[in-house]
């Protein structure tokens, strides 16, 4: 990947006008910011555009701009068949398009992926060197490798690469980032833009009142505390923790070390430590106690921008805007949290339908297509649905039906590859699909829903034996 990044960097240096194209989630926004900041650093004129997915209509818009060079970040590798006539760089961690010359059933190798595809592209992608793009490195991380090759000073962008990786939940397994992400972590520590510690690793440690952090902790299932307003407050007060300082609620980041040790010990008597202890990644140049200071909360802030049709806000925050863009992003984040809670209730009330090998829920237009995958993941991780079958959530989108699939690491280890499911299904039924083995998405026509679910059930059955 570093060799490919060096070649990509040289191609960028040799170009005078560049179009950056990126995805709208936290990883995509972080990746776009890494690319843009790197191009600013080497003095290259560029434009940045965002898209929910790569399809023929969007690629036609890109080609109409007649760019000298295109830099695709956090997307592109699975769409090389659409890129004929374009020239540039792809830094992506999703599974690339496979070579059409590979015999059916043959074992995959590095050369079973098209490096250039339909266009002339240098790709920086972990799958092309035998690594898993779902946990080794994010799209922002791949963009970072290219940026780092443009100049050693750009190692200071490592914090954005880590924000992207955490946004893609690459730290979920074992509570820490692994693989190439570890090298990026070290770069961030060396340049002073990133700090790492092992601590309580629940969402909201910077901004939520400590009792509310426990109440809404999706990773914890403690009777009388989880989803229990009074129980979570009583738990904290029973440990002698003062929940307020003056008129303000205290967050985890406000607690004294002795208070933190007391709560960790008490939680450890109720659930395994690995359920709530892990690595925490913070950004010391940002103000403590804000969403900007810790990677999970920062990524959620970015997601709230992308999922509610304002990716440019999150992008500008990543690039350093701490004025109007940040204020507007905070407003979207508040709405995002409410939408997630409301959407989760809707999904639970509609109920999950189980087929032989998969389970699904079709929410129609009651949940936004941009967050249906996030909500499905929350429901899947809640312990309230069958975790032995991958879940598929469907929602109405502007251009069809959005399908989001989510699995678990145990299912992936058993053979599940949701990227392959989406790709095979859309190849047969039409539409666009791809992603990772543990999380993937597709867009299909409304009349193909039943066929898609039957086909997905069959493919997953084959994968899981």
Structure confidence at residue 239 as a pLDDT band (50, 70, 90): very high
Structure confidence at residue 382 as a pLDDT band (50, 70, 90): confident
Structure confidence at residue 250 as a pLDDT band (50, 70, 90): very high
Taking residue 301's Cβ as centre, other Cβ atoms within 10 Å add up to 27
> What residue segments make up the domains of the chain, in order of their start?
2-192, 199-343, 351-463
pLDDT at 99: 52
DSSP string, 359-418: EEEE-TTSS-TTTHHHHHHHHHTTTSS-TTS-EEEEEEETTEEEEEEE--HHHHHTT--H
The rounded distance, in Å, linking the Cα atoms of 132 and 436 is 9
- As its CATH architecture, domain 2-192 has Alpha-Beta Complex (3.90)
CATH class of this structure's domain 351-463: alpha beta
pLDDT digits (tens, 9 = 90+) for 259-269: 999 999 999 99
The rounded distance, in Å, linking the Cα atoms of 451 and 323 is 49
With CA atoms as reference, report the closest residue to 83 among 99, 101, 65, 70.
70
According to DSSP, the residues that pair with 197 across neighbouring strands are 280
Average pLDDT, the chain: 92
pLDDT at 431: 86
With CA atoms as reference, report the closest residue to 389 among 373, 411, 362.
411
Structure confidence at residue 106 as a pLDDT band (50, 70, 90): very low
| Range in 114-123, 314-323, 382-391, 435-444 the model is least confident about | 114-123
pLDDT digits (tens, 9 = 90+) for 199-230: 999 999 999 999 999 998 877 889 899 889 99
Residue 131: in which H helix or E strand, if any?
Answer: none
Location of structure tokens 């954005």: 160
The percentage of the chain sitting over the pLDDT mark of 70, rounded to a whole number, equals 95
DSSP helix/strand/coil, 436: coil
pLDDT digits (tens, 9 = 90+) for 275-306: 899 999 999 999 999 999 999 999 999 999 99
Taking residue 369's Cβ as centre, other Cβ atoms within 10 Å add up to 24
pLDDT digits (tens, 9 = 90+) for 431-448: 888 888 999 999 999 999
Taking residue 152's Cβ as centre, other Cβ atoms within 10 Å add up to 10
DSSP string, 13-51: HT-SEEEEEE-SSHHHHHHHHHHHHHHHHTT-EEEEEE-
pTM: 0.86
The rounded distance, in Å, linking the Cα atoms of 16 and 279 is 41
pLDDT digits (tens, 9 = 90+) for 56-82: 999 999 999 999 999 999 999 999 889
pLDDT at 316: 97
Give, as one character, the DSSP assignment of residue 389: S
pLDDT at 108: 43
DSSP helix/strand/coil, 157: helix
Location of structure tokens 């407050």: 233
The percentage of the chain sitting over the pLDDT mark of 90, rounded to a whole number, equals 79
Give, as one character, the DSSP assignment of residue 270: T
| Per-residue pLDDT at 234 exceeds 80 | yes
């Amino acid at each position: 990947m570093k060799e490919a990044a060096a070649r990509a960097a040289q191609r960028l240096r040799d170009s005078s006008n560049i179009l950056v194209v990126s995805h709208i989630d936290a990883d995509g926004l972080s990746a776009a910011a890494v690319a843009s900041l790197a191009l600013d650093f080497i003095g290259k004129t560029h434009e940045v555009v965002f898209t929910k997915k790569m399809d023929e209509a969007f690629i036609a818009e890109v080609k109409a701009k007649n760019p000298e060079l295109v830099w695709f970040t956090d997307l592109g590798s699975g769409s090389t068949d659409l890129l004929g006539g374009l020239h540039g760089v792809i830094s992506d961690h999703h599974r690339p398009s496979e070579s059409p010359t590979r015999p059916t059933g043959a074992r995959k190798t590095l050369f079973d992926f098209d490096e250039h595809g339909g266009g002339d592209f240098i790709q920086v992608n972990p799958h092309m060197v035998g690594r898993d793009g779902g946990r080794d490195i994010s799209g922002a991380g791949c963009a970072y490798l290219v940026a780092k090759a443009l100049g050693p000073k750009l190692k200071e962008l490592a914090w954005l690469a880590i924000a992207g990786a955490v946004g893609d939940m690459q730290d979920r397994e074992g509570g820490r980032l692994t693989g190439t992400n570890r090298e990026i972590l070290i770069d961030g520590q060396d340049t002073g833009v990133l700090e790492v510690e092992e601590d309580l690793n629940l969402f909201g440690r910077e901004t939520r009142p400590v009792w509310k952090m426990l109440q809404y902790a999706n990773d914890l299932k403690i009777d009388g505390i989880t989803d229990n307003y009074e129980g979570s407050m009583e738990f904290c007060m029973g440990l002698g923790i003062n929940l307020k300082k003056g008129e303000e609620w205290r967050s985890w980041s406000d607690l004294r070390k002795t208070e933190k040790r007391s709560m960790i010990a008490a939680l450890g008597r109720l659930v395994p430590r690995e359920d709530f202890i892990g690595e925490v990644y913070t950004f010391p140049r940002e103000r403590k106690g804000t969403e900007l200071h810790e990677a999970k909360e920062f990524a959620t802030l970015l997601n709230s921008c992308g999922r509610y049709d304002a990716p440019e806000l999150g992008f500008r925050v990543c690039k350093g805007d701490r004025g109007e863009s940040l204020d507007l992003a905070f407003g979207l984040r508040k709405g995002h949290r409410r939408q997630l809670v409301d959407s989760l209730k809707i999904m639970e009330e509609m109920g999950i339908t189980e087929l032989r090998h998969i389970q699904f829920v079709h929410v129609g237009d009651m949940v936004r297509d941009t967050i249906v995958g996030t909500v499905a993941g929350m429901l899947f991780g809640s312990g309230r649905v069958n975790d032995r079958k991958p879940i598929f959530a469907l929602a109405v989108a502007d251009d069809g039906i959005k399908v989001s699939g989510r699995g678990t690491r145990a299912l992936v280890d058993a053979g599940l590859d949701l990227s392959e499911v989406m790709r095979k299904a859309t190849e047969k039924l039409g539409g666009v699909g791809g992603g990772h083995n543990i999380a993937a998405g597709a867009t299909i026509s409304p009349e193909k829903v039943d066929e898609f679910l039957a086909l997905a059930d069959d493919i997953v059955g084959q994968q899981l034996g």
